Structure 1
Amino acid sequence: MHEHPQISRQRFLSVTVLNAVITLAEIIGGLMAGSLALLSDAVHNLTDTLSIVLGYVASRISTRPENQYQTYGYRRAEILAALLNAIILVIVVIGLLYEAIVRFAHPEPINGPLMLTVAIIGLIANIVSLFLLHAGVNHSLNLKATYLHILGDTLSSVAVIIGALVVTLTQVTWVDPALTILVALLIAKETLPVIKQASLILMQTGPKVDYDQITKDLTALPGVNHIHHLHAWMLDEHTTAISLHINCTNQELSQIEPLYQQIETILKTKYHFNHVTIQAECHRGEAESLIANEIDHFEH
């Protein structure tokens, strides 16, 4: 596996081991110190460990070549993993908010020094994990979702450290659930955009390009009279595809091929489509709009 945009198997393994160790330490420390923030962070770390494993498996699956059943390959395995990881994070956020509200209503004594020690260990491990994952975070939605898990844990560790200092110095225990709520909201803020983007890709949403301008560019080519039945979609966050029908003058196939090449060049260089499919027609579809309504076709 390449370091860019993917990260190595060894780094995934290192991050997984680090998170497993952090989880165990925070569960023990949280129970001994009576800290909700530590226990919440432990649960968060546990989901992170699972998400890292899931993300790694998905990244490996996504590199499989195309075949007769998956003609576009397995790129969306990472999108599915990113969506699942983000949904898990939302569930964790809801759980954290609930437990924090309960702790507000029923405060418990907290061992500040022990809470502080465990939180510092967790922070150091999370910083190391962030460093290991950072190489490909801007090039993979799946890796970004995993990275956000670790970033959320890092913020949690910082919050727990602050809370531990306040509890140790002032014995004000409500800081513990208050910081838990703050971290939960920060995690939610970073997670919702991942859910939105992954959902749009899985719904085969088209990339944001000017389709009217595409029509103008292509019909300006000699021999192209009309464009219709256009479909565009995202295979993943980096790969886009487009298919369209063109009405052109009646001519031999050997004359059509140069026209195909012109259209493909425009769509790839100006509009950044990776995969282009063109169907030439003489008069069929001349009355159809650019975006065909498939539902109407099926109903009739």
Structure 2
Amino acid sequence: MSEVHIHKHEVKSKNLFFSILLNVIITIAQVVGGIISGSLALISDALHNFSDVLSLVFSLIAHKLSRKKASIDYTFGYKRAELIAAFVNASTLVIVALFLIYGAIGRFLNPHPIQSGLVIWLALLGIIVNGLSVILLQKDAQHNINMKSAYLHLLTDMMASVAVLIGGLLMKFYGWFWVDSVMTIAIAIYLIVVGVKLLITSTKMLMLFTPEHIDIKEIVREVHKIPGVNKLHHIHVWHLNDEELHLEAHLDCSADIKMSEFNTLLHEVEQILFQKFHINHINIQPEFRKEDPKDFIVQD
């Protein structure tokens, strides 16, 4: 397998660790405050924060595992651990959201008086804590799906705290206690939207689906322009993780060339695939008039 070395963004696990500490503090504060004030929105936000703490811990463990070196028993190392973390985190977003909707409907049908002052102050605390956590992970989230899943958890927490704050103000000045349930449902719907999107993305990666930005037919057209290439076939393209895009294929040569000549041909293929498609791990099986299926995609 050939590998084109690229500059990799170094994800900082200490930012994730600080975010975990901040979320533990806000979770405890919101649980206590929600029980005292009687606010379901505050308790639901605390539940969401607690799920975030678990998700952030899972993300941190997955991040540490992904950095472990490959071995004879684990030839890829644990590089796909972060994809599993992203999948689990996305799933918890959706599950928590469904529980919140169930509870909010019951509270909407039977609204209770709520101590809005405590709700307002804890919502402000949630905005500050989650906002700081979002800033800490924002850069890493642009380069890593595991960090993106953690970032989305925190971003939705901040949005939820804003919604709780608005609800607290409306309850304080207008006595609209039903707003607590409405805000809870709004938070839950947003959780489902972002959770499902991340769930689909992580599932596609885990299933080794062809990345959405990759056009296999375009890859074939570009490789076939190289002198000495007869046909590229039996193609697989997949993400090992966020940083590594793999391709394996059979390459039927137009002439019975020496291995040294094939090395030169392979180098040209590697450069085309990396420069135009950002594929940095390539495994090519050389062939010359071999009797096998020549379709682009072959069922193994």
Q: Please report the TM-score for the alignment, with normalisation by the length of structure 1.
A: 0.92
Inter-partner Cα distance in structure 2 for 1:213 and 1:175? 53
The CA deviation at 1:4 is 4.8
Q: How does 1:169-184 map to 2 (within 5 A)?
A: 169-184=173-188
Match status 1:155 vs 2:192: no
Aligned to 1:244: 249
- Whose RCO is larger (CA < 8 A, sep 6+)? 2
Aligned to 1:86: 90
Asked if the contact 1:7–1:135 (Cα under 8 Å) also holds between the matched residues in 2, the reply is: no
Inter-partner Cα distance in structure 1 for 2:91 and 2:112? 30
Residue-by-residue CA offset, 1:241-263 (whole Å, 9 max, x unaligned): 11111222112222222111111
Inter-partner Cα distance in structure 1 for 2:242 and 2:44? 32
Please tell me the residue identity of whatever aligns with 2:221. Answer: K
The CA deviation at 1:181 is 0.7
Match status 1:74 vs 2:78: yes
**Which residue among 213, 219, 240 is the counterpart of 1:214?**
219
The CA deviation at 1:186 is 1.4
Kindly report the root-mean-square deviation, in angstroms, between the aligned alpha carbons of the 2 structures: 1.6
Question: Is there any run of 5+ residues in structure 2 with no aligned partner, and where?
Answer: 1-7
Compared CA separation, residues 192 and 287, structure 1 to 2 (3 A): closer
**Which residue among 273, 276, 287 is the counterpart of 2:279?**
273
Aligned to 2:209: 205
Please tell me the residue identity of whatever aligns with 1:176. Answer: D
Question: Is there any run of 5+ residues in structure 1 with no aligned partner, and where?
Answer: 295-300
After the TM superposition, which of the residue ranges 275-284 and 253-262 deviates more from structure 2? Answer: 253-262
Q: How does 1:53-64 map to 2 (within 5 A)?
A: 53-64=57-68
Count of residues in Structure 1 that have an aligned counterpart in Structure 2: 291
Q: Please report the TM-score for the alignment, with normalisation by the length of structure 2.
A: 0.92
Compared CA separation, residues 173 and 164, structure 1 to 2 (3 A): same
> 3-state DSSP class of the match of 2:85?
helix
Residue-by-residue CA offset, 1:51-87 (whole Å, 9 max, x unaligned): 1111111111111122222222322111100110110
Compared CA separation, residues 254 and 59, structure 1 to 2 (3 A): same
Inter-partner Cα distance in structure 2 for 1:114 and 1:216? 64
Inter-partner Cα distance in structure 2 for 1:130 and 1:214? 38
Identity in percent: 36
Match status 1:41 vs 2:45: yes
Match status 1:288 vs 2:268: no
Q: How does 1:96-107 map to 2 (within 5 A)?
A: 96-107=100-111
The CA deviation at 1:141 is 0.7
Inter-partner Cα distance in structure 2 for 1:164 and 1:66? 52
After the TM superposition, which of the residue ranges 40-49 and 233-242 deviates more from structure 2? Answer: 233-242
> 3-state DSSP class of the match of 2:232?
strand
